[in-house]
Structure 1
Amino acid sequence: MLGDKLIDGVVKRHKLIIVIFAVLTVVSAFLMLGVKINYDLSSYIPGEADSTLAIEKMQEEFGAALPNVELAMPDMNVTAALAFKEDLLALDSVSAVIWLDDQLDLAIPLELQDQATVEGFYKDSVALYQITADQNDAVASLLSLREIAGEEGAVRGQIVELAEAQLATQSEIARIMIFAIPIALIILVIATNSWLEPVLFALVIAVGVLLNMGTNFIFSEISFITQSVAAVLQLAVTMDYAILFLHRTNEYKEAGDPLEVAVKKAMKKSFSPIASSAATTFFGFLALVFMRFQLGPDLGLVLAKGVVFSMLSVFLLLPALILLLDRLIEKTTHRPFLPSFKGLGKLVIKLAVPILIIVALIIVPAFLGQRSNNFIYGMGGYAEDSRAARDVRLITDRFGNNMQMALLVPRDQPALEEIFIDKLEELPEVKSLTSFISVSSSALPPEIISEELTSQILSDDFSRIIVVSNSPSEGPETFALAEHIREIADEVYGPDSEIHLVGENFVITDMRDTIQEDSIIVNGLAILAVALVIAIAFRSISLPFLLVLTIEISIWINLALPYFSGTNLSYIGYLIVSTVQLGATVDYGILLTQHYMDNRKILGKKEAARKSVSDTAGSLISPAFILAAVGLVLAAVSSISVVSELGLVLGRGALLSLGMVIFLLPNLLRIFDRLIEKTTWKADFLPDSLIHRKEKQEFTQNEQS
């Protein structure tokens, strides 16, 4: 509950508050430009993961990283290919280039050499270079490589993924907001009675968004996913706070209260329901903080912080703007565009049995389906018509996949290393293998080998084996190969030996294992936190179960659809939607349940359910449609696969939650009415005896008339 002194201060100094918010907004807009963005999902794997420790050890022992990008050039003879390699090495962004001359003696005709090795780098007059480029400025690296490759050349690899994510994030945020804000305004114009009110809502929440995004400077960096979705999600999930506040103000004005009194009453009376709604969203987002995969805390903290700033904007800035612009709001009123929903309430009650039967039939398949999806754990693919997708096709069609791995084994155990290499070469996925033993023999002293090659494959303590496999960047075969190589290493060297395995497949495998471990914890904490807030708000034991169940059913259906349609689903999106959809849409159920509890004090359970649907449908539609529209805009505009998919699933989830709250929840409240009364403190439901007496009186009056 807001204190009277604070309320009086806001009303009395409303112009000063507007000035303060204006200054803070401008400052936040400048601070937002300095927030560092991280585009590498692998950096969010826990520091204790095997792949993270392996990368650190390789950098410590060898310094040089694995090749992170491939470049293919057509119409090249060997002489031209060698000259082009020197051109690549001359680029500021390139630190190393590997080609055929690093594997074979080119003085010997290629026809007389190992054809598998030759065709790994040179096939049908196309030269394929393995390049180590600067990841810290991936965009500059990619642009320089594409410039030297020209339209005929092709570039693929990690640098492309990082650069494309960075370019998309920088260019698409503005485009997303350009589409999302007008759509939200149109929905609000339809849902309200004033042309100016929607602008006021959007302005207040936009200020909260800017304050949130600007204060991200307190973090060392945020992920590109957070940067892409945080602003638009905050806009969508907190807009209803402003709507509820202004509606409450208008109610008091219509009751005859002067403007200042109406605003004060609205601040006092609307704080509790808005705070309860915000708390469920806040804790739903905050559950992501407990993910070991650090993208969860990254996104969760920013979104939870956004809820706080939206609350501050609604209870400080919005009252000030209402006091300043009330006359203009009055002059811009229009007739209601939304129809009456009395018929909808009757329909929900009439269809109670079919609705319950349908839900009972689909709940188990939906629950099992959403747990059986074929998940993607990395960045996903590129847009079909993009240069990146074209380049991937060109290189893959000619050379297949080239998964780079570096295996660090103890240098002082050459006999075991030779056994390890023999077992690796037996794997059908392995295309090539380079090690000190493979270019010499285990008995040959390192002094005879060139210093340049020795430094790449030998350190004081480790021998580095470079392996190239024909595995995609992600997929079941990728995980299987990573796990198989780890098993071979344990078999040869023992599980306690210091073996370090580096490569994208090991990173993706650790990412998969980490995210899967997070799933149960994060979902459990989100459900527990939201249920606790509902229990406190309603002082009830049973209502949290019914409300959470309603939203969870919609989540299960939403996340099961990819399984039944045979499409892949990003596990990052799956986990985020599981918590965000719960936190953002359980508010719909809270609003309807609050009306049901109030109506049950004067009506029977059937009439209370019907009236609750009729009274709240209009209020529920606008936030649900805004969240759905924002999600679909993300899906349509973003070229980042994981962001686009997140938007699609979240938008679909908002509509499913709305449908479940309107059609399922009222009937659950009716069925469990007696249980709710028994498990809710001071429910004060209308007694059955009074209900029957009232119904009898109404029947008698109808008979007489």
Structure 2
Amino acid sequence: MKEDINEVMRNMKEGINWSIKDNINDKTKGYIKESMGKIAEKNQKRKLTARFAAFVVDKRALFLFIFAALCVFSIFSSSWVQVEQDLAAFLADDAETKKGLKVMQEEFVTYGMTNIMIANISYEQAELIAERMKSVKGVFSVAFDETKAHYNDASALYNVIFAYEENDQRYVEAINALKEEFKEYDMYINIGLDDVYIDTIIKEIVVVSIYIGIIIIFVLIFTSQSYAEVPVMLITFISAAVINMGTNFFFGTISFVSNSVAAVLQLALSVDYAIILINRFREERETLPAREAAINALSKAILEISSSSLTTICGLLAMTFMKFRIGFDMGIVLMKAIAISLFSVFLLMPGLLMVFSKMIDKTRHGNFMPKIPFIGKFAYSTRKVIPPVFVVILIAAIYFSGKCPFVYGYELLKTAKQNEMQIAKNMIRETFGSANSLALVIPAGDYESEGKLIKELESQDEVEYIMGLSNIKAMDDYVLTDRLTPREFSELTDLDYEVAKLLYAAYAVRDEDYGKVVSGLDTYGVPLIDMFIFLCGQAKEGYVKLDQDLQETLDEAYTQMSIVKQQLQGENYSRILVNLRLPTEGEETFQFLDTIREIAGKYYDDGSIYLVGEASNFYDWSKAFSSDNILVGVLSVVFVIIILLFTFKSVALPVFLIAVIQGSIWINFSFPYLTGSYVLFMHYLVASAIQMGANIDYAIVISNRYLSLKNEMSRREAIIEAMNQSFPTLITSGLMMAVCGILIGAMTSEPVIAGMGECIGRGTIISLVLVMFVLPQILLLGDKIIEKTSFTISPFIRALNAKGTIYVDGQITGQVSGTIIGNLRGIIHGDINAIVESGEMKVLSENPGSQSQGE
């Protein structure tokens, strides 16, 4: 019975579906009910998608114009996108570093500064160069001495502070002036100019994109069956990428990572969609004119493409839940990219197929894609061997990936290519060692507590150098925050004592400290820096008359003190600069950061203390990673497994597919441990989410083909044919993803981008190997488990009792008594007395009293 019913079901395509049954067994009834439900559901969807497809194809000129206009607009709007180069900006809002950075931006002025190393010079030359640097316009100060911190191995290191803020264009001009002044020397400048750095990255990505474009053209030619199919797909890809870049301004600010790699990853993640549609069009074109072929191809491909995109979107969606908001940034940018790619395939590509249809017909060529029956044969013969071996490899991969050496900074990362800034930084590090600088932000106004804090921190072995207002020496061994009486201040500045007393009186009145004026000023102490700045202000306003020499001395000192105060003291907070003898990351460093907080907590409330610097940034990242790692891993698996459950309606099959892809992730991140290389924590989070969301499609393609074919042929033949049919999709999509990742890793110098590309490229290759040489064996061995854990979802059923003349358009199950006029397609259990005007009627089984007639 089941075989006969299947034959009838395969012949059903469109129209009104009827099923009239009486006294049949429950098993047959349930099967027929399920089959008819599927047919009705498909017919309803086909009607909707067919109408949509016809509209798109018939209005193709409109859609071509819309996409052309969007591309032109996006070319201009792409310059509106704000790009954030500092990854610390993507820390969670409650992260200490994020809070501290906000306070520092509001409270302090940060002047531009840089380290400049000049190699192959004598110490005498180094001294002369230091003096020349001070005379360059825009240079405020140059720190250089005979210690090894500034002169080592015939190389000099100058700490240069500029008179302009970091975001001032004059700061860039001053750096360029230094480069020009000392261009005859071997000079290395360690600068962090956002615009320069981003321009370097963009130039590298452009070169990578050109290489990828050339490779993609060859891949498309190899996998296509007409040369004219290639421009159709290229125009679709390029339009989607341009529109995506041009619409990023809706997000306000995006990271330099998303800005750099979104277009490349968009192509790699969405190439399947265009391939599916063009394959459908090719099949329909065999028997139909171009218009009808395009309509049928689009209507059939919509659901298939949409389903394929869901797993990718789920992987990207998991990234958006990361506490480290770079995941949210990349997630929304790439999800928008996938959505735009879908719209381009659905709305733009059908019109392009119509435009190029004649050329597609004229430029057809033979199929360059080889058959791979040997893989299917190998799978069948090793179905009982490979799965146990894979389990052993999986256990080892779990162990090795658990020991993956994650890092949170760039210092230990190596890239195949290095830019000018990286070369300079490495040269300085190799010659003078690395610096670990922190800013300790504390409440302002209590110089005494600040001084005690500085002294206690200075006593720590881990502290190399510390600077705050309370330990900067001014004159005569006084520090800037020492309280001086009028007598002491007059002696220090050669100011007349009576004038000094008047000055102190004016200061007390300004601060509404009238008690000091009444009780006497002789013992009234004011911090040196505050009184000095007050004196200069009074002199500028003409309240205090000074001789010319003293005025010039005060003006010079005032400039220096003002710059120092702007950097170290704000309205509500003060800043202490701390250099550590520890690396920028590691357990020892992170523990000492907690020690600094404990010491500062003795003098200030814990909630008002902030540590800001690379080390604190990495510490915050390490704490976020511990939770993000679990969150992203669990969510990506959960989201994908839900999609797979409804796709395959089996419990076991999604588990098998997830095991294969998760296994590829574990194997991928076993390599760093085995090769002794380091991995930025972000690489794992992003690459694993993309692997789970995108590479799972390769496993879905093979599984779908096998499950469909095994009902028509033996399991051995089914797996061989499934691999043959899946190979073009796997090699096209997988090869593009792998090539994109590998080229990004090899040809970009930015460690975040390069490492991410390397991990994605390597992970894709591993995924391809596993789905081609491990998954088929798992499907064969687990076939019975897959069938036993299958389930069905019953369609929505509506009961209807009616009499009279009734119009029916849809599937029904039940008893009908009367005369039927119309197209009938279904299974009837009972008696028929009717004329078959067209088509056929076949008796599946004989029952007593049953009869049929007609042609």
Normalised by the size of structure 2, how large is the TM-score? 0.72
For residue 253 of structure 2, the aligned residue among 210, 221, 224 is: 221
> Are 2:111 and 2:165, in contact at CA under 8 Å, matched by a contact in 1?
no
For residue 152 of structure 1, the aligned residue among 172, 182, 185 is: 185
> Are 2:91 and 2:98, in contact at CA under 8 Å, matched by a contact in 1?
yes
More helix by share: 1
2:40 counterpart residue number: none
* In structure 2, C-alpha distance between the alignment counterparts of 1:473 and 1:157, rounded to whole Å: 17
Shift of 1:351: 2.4
Q: Summarize the Cα distance change of 1:595–1:460 in structure 2 as closer, same or farther, 3 Å threshold.
A: closer
> Are 1:46 and 1:293, in contact at CA under 8 Å, matched by a contact in 2?
yes
For residue 161 of structure 2, the aligned residue among 98, 106, 131 is: 131
| Higher Cα Rg, which structure | 2
> Are 2:375 and 2:773, in contact at CA under 8 Å, matched by a contact in 1?
no
Tell me which moved more, 50-59 or 218-227. 50-59
Tell me which moved more, 430-439 or 547-556. 430-439
- Match of 2:156, as an amino acid? V
1:243 aligned counterpart, secondary structure: helix
1:587 counterpart residue number: 697
For residue 555 of structure 1, the aligned residue among 665, 676, 690 is: 665
Q: Summarize the Cα distance change of 1:219–1:247 in structure 2 as closer, same or farther, 3 Å threshold.
A: same
Q: Summarize the Cα distance change of 1:15–1:372 in structure 2 as closer, same or farther, 3 Å threshold.
A: same
Mapping of 1:43-122 within 5 angstroms?
43-61=89-107, 63-65=108-110, 69-73=114-118, 80=128, 83-84=131-132, 86-87=134-135, 90-91=137-138, 97=141, 99=143, 119-121=148-150
> Are 1:154 and 1:395, in contact at CA under 8 Å, matched by a contact in 2?
no
2:83 counterpart residue number: 37
Mapping of 1:449-468 within 5 angstroms?
449=529, 451=533, 452=561, 453=564, 456-458=567-569, 462-468=573-579
Mapping of 1:621-660 within 5 angstroms?
621-660=731-770
* In structure 2, C-alpha distance between the alignment counterparts of 1:628 and 1:457, rounded to whole Å: 49
Which deviations, in whole Å up to 9, do the C-alpha atoms of 1:24-64 show, x marking residues without a partner?
Answer: 22221221233222211111112221112122223434x12
2:74 counterpart residue number: 28
1:679 counterpart residue number: 789
Higher-RCO chain (CA-CA 8 Å, sequence separation at least 6): 2
Q: Summarize the Cα distance change of 1:11–1:70 in structure 2 as closer, same or farther, 3 Å threshold.
A: same
> Are 1:54 and 1:502, in contact at CA under 8 Å, matched by a contact in 2?
yes
Shift of 1:457: 4.1
2:507 counterpart residue number: none
Q: Summarize the Cα distance change of 1:119–1:459 in structure 2 as closer, same or farther, 3 Å threshold.
A: farther
* In structure 1, C-alpha distance between the alignment counterparts of 2:184 and 2:594, rounded to whole Å: 38
Mapping of 1:247-262 within 5 angstroms?
247-254=279-286, 256-262=287-293
1:375 aligns to 2:390 (yes or no): no
* In structure 1, C-alpha distance between the alignment counterparts of 2:664 and 2:174, rounded to whole Å: 44
Aligned residues between the structures? 661
* In structure 1, C-alpha distance between the alignment counterparts of 2:763 and 2:319, rounded to whole Å: 18
1:696 counterpart residue number: none
- Match of 1:39, as an amino acid? Q
2:326 counterpart residue number: 295
- Match of 1:364, as an amino acid? I
1:482 counterpart residue number: 593
Shift of 1:501: 1.8
Shift of 1:456: 4.7
Q: Summarize the Cα distance change of 1:417–1:545 in structure 2 as closer, same or farther, 3 Å threshold.
A: same
Q: Summarize the Cα distance change of 1:630–1:457 in structure 2 as closer, same or farther, 3 Å threshold.
A: closer
- Match of 2:768, as an amino acid? L
* In structure 2, C-alpha distance between the alignment counterparts of 1:397 and 1:227, rounded to whole Å: 32
Identity %: 30
> Are 2:632 and 2:689, in contact at CA under 8 Å, matched by a contact in 1?
yes
* In structure 1, C-alpha distance between the alignment counterparts of 2:618 and 2:189, rounded to whole Å: 18
Q: Summarize the Cα distance change of 1:462–1:636 in structure 2 as closer, same or farther, 3 Å threshold.
A: closer
1:11 aligns to 2:83 (yes or no): no
1:353 aligned counterpart, secondary structure: coil
Mapping of 1:273-422 within 5 angstroms?
273-379=304-410, 380=413, 386-410=419-443, 417-422=450-455
Which deviations, in whole Å up to 9, do the C-alpha atoms of 1:370-401 show, x marking residues without a partner?
Answer: 23222232355676764334423443344322
2:622 aligned counterpart, secondary structure: helix
Shift of 1:229: 0.9
For residue 243 of structure 1, the aligned residue among 275, 283, 291 is: 275
1:599 counterpart residue number: 709
> Are 1:349 and 1:609, in contact at CA under 8 Å, matched by a contact in 2?
yes
Q: Summarize the Cα distance change of 1:140–1:298 in structure 2 as closer, same or farther, 3 Å threshold.
A: farther
1:533 aligns to 2:643 (yes or no): yes
Shift of 1:171: 0.8
1:542 aligns to 2:652 (yes or no): yes
* In structure 2, C-alpha distance between the alignment counterparts of 1:149 and 1:527, rounded to whole Å: 56
Q: Summarize the Cα distance change of 1:455–1:237 in structure 2 as closer, same or farther, 3 Å threshold.
A: closer
Shift of 1:131: 3.0
Q: Summarize the Cα distance change of 1:457–1:624 in structure 2 as closer, same or farther, 3 Å threshold.
A: closer
Shift of 1:227: 1.5
For residue 198 of structure 1, the aligned residue among 225, 230, 234 is: 230
Tell me which moved more, 660-669 or 384-393. 384-393
* In structure 1, C-alpha distance between the alignment counterparts of 2:565 and 2:240, rounded to whole Å: 57
Q: Summarize the Cα distance change of 1:474–1:195 in structure 2 as closer, same or farther, 3 Å threshold.
A: farther
* In structure 2, C-alpha distance between the alignment counterparts of 1:368 and 1:141, rounded to whole Å: 53
Q: Summarize the Cα distance change of 1:383–1:666 in structure 2 as closer, same or farther, 3 Å threshold.
A: closer
Q: Summarize the Cα distance change of 1:397–1:271 in structure 2 as closer, same or farther, 3 Å threshold.
A: closer
* In structure 1, C-alpha distance between the alignment counterparts of 2:300 and 2:73, rounded to whole Å: 32
> Are 1:76 and 1:127, in contact at CA under 8 Å, matched by a contact in 2?
no
> Are 1:418 and 1:437, in contact at CA under 8 Å, matched by a contact in 2?
yes
> Are 1:677 and 1:683, in contact at CA under 8 Å, matched by a contact in 2?
no
Shift of 1:443: 6.3
- Match of 2:280, as an amino acid? R
For residue 199 of structure 2, the aligned residue among 144, 164, 167 is: 167
2:81 aligned counterpart, secondary structure: coil
1:448 counterpart residue number: 528
1:680 aligned counterpart, secondary structure: coil
> Are 2:280 and 2:301, in contact at CA under 8 Å, matched by a contact in 1?
yes
RMSD of equivalent CA atoms? 3.0
- Match of 2:728, as an amino acid? G
1:510 counterpart residue number: 620
Which deviations, in whole Å up to 9, do the C-alpha atoms of 1:437-456 show, x marking residues without a partner?
Answer: 43447864553345415555
Q: Summarize the Cα distance change of 1:135–1:556 in structure 2 as closer, same or farther, 3 Å threshold.
A: farther
1:409 aligned counterpart, secondary structure: strand
> Are 1:154 and 1:392, in contact at CA under 8 Å, matched by a contact in 2?
no
2:814 counterpart residue number: none
* In structure 1, C-alpha distance between the alignment counterparts of 2:684 and 2:177, rounded to whole Å: 36
* In structure 2, C-alpha distance between the alignment counterparts of 1:444 and 1:82, rounded to whole Å: 34
* In structure 1, C-alpha distance between the alignment counterparts of 2:567 and 2:269, rounded to whole Å: 52
> Are 1:408 and 1:501, in contact at CA under 8 Å, matched by a contact in 2?
yes
Shift of 1:335: 1.2
2:670 aligned counterpart, secondary structure: helix
> Are 1:67 and 1:404, in contact at CA under 8 Å, matched by a contact in 2?
no
For residue 296 of structure 2, the aligned residue among 261, 265, 277 is: 265
